[in-house]
Amino acid sequence: LEDRLAVPMGVGMGLTFDEAALLLDLRDVYWTREGLLSIQLSLGATAILSIAILTQRILRRGEKRQEAAGLIPSP
């Protein structure tokens, strides 16, 4: 189920990030110099979310390895 829901969620997030300028200013500034702000916000938000997701996966993987080795008690 998670694999099938990942694509629609990614599309929705991409569309939301793409329209960041409209969400902030309520004006269509996509084709102006101010539209650069929308692109920068989209790329910045994508980078921050990607880093957070990857960090969480790395920490969970490390926790599972330590549980398997018996170094920490399992919940």
Quick one: how far is CA 39 from the chain centroid?
15
pLDDT, one tens digit for every residue, the chain (75 residues): 778 888 888 888 878 777 766 666 656 666 677 677 777 777 888 889 889 989 999 999 988 888 888 888 877
Global pTM? Answer: 0.57
Calculated CA dihedral for residues 27, 31, 33, 39, nearest 10 degrees: 80
